[in-house]
Amino acid sequence: MGWFLCYVATIVAANWSLERWGLINIGFGLMAPAGVLFAGVAFTFRDLLQEARGRWWSVTAIAVGSFVSWWISPSFAVASGVAFGISELADFAVYTPLRWRHWLAAVALSNTVGTVLDSFIFLRLADLWSRDAFLGLVVGKTYMTVIAVAVLWMLRRRAVSLRLRPAWPPNPGDRHPTHGQRPTA
């Protein structure tokens, strides 16, 4: 239930921060909607939730996050929900088949695809489109993805060095349910 709550919370926080702060400077002369601070991390929580509970929990989290966001920022809740939903479908196509081959690479690649797709769709539906806003969102979400993947890599390595089972599957000793291959960190 923890990853579910984290995912819902980041969806709500992304919409709340955009409503509260609007555009923020993310460096390199780029501006992005403030939700970028949470949306990049949300993609990682989505992958962790899928591992822990399955695909449909991720879809449910998007619906719950969008519903709660409606009370905070109705103007962005629909655009956010649709963008997260469509990027979730892309995540199914990218993350799900790759996760057993190299888990962290699957997280990084699915976050990249989700970042581009989510940014494009959200900006169009929220009527905030500009090339600069798109570039700012992609760069800002990439910052957050790099940080999230680095933290996961360090935590996973630490757990393995202590001979602990990492808190998120697939674990190095697990086998793919149909192919019998072992995942790599």
Q: Name the DSSP letter for residue 178.
A: T
Token pair listed for 74: 């109705």
Token pair listed for 96: 């799900």
**E-state strands within the chain:** 23-27, 30-33
**Digit-coded pLDDT (tens) for 50-84:** 888 888 898 899 999 999 999 988 888 999 989 98
**Digit-coded pLDDT (tens) for 79-110:** 998 998 898 888 888 988 888 888 778 888 98
Q: Is 180 exposed, middle or buried (0-12, 13-18, 19+ CB in 10 A)?
A: exposed
Instruction: Write down the pTM of the prediction.
Output: 0.80
**Digit-coded pLDDT (tens) for 158-173:** 877 777 665 555 544 4
From the candidate CATH numbers 1.10.10, 1.10.1760, 1.10.260, 3.40.50, the one assigned to the domain spanning 2-161: 1.10.1760
3-state DSSP assignment of residue 128: coil
90 vs 96: CA distance, rounded Å: 10
The label of the residue with tokens 């997260």 reads 84
Long-range contacts of 129-133 (CB under 8 A, 24+ apart): 132/30, 132/31, 133/23, 133/31, 133/32, 133/33
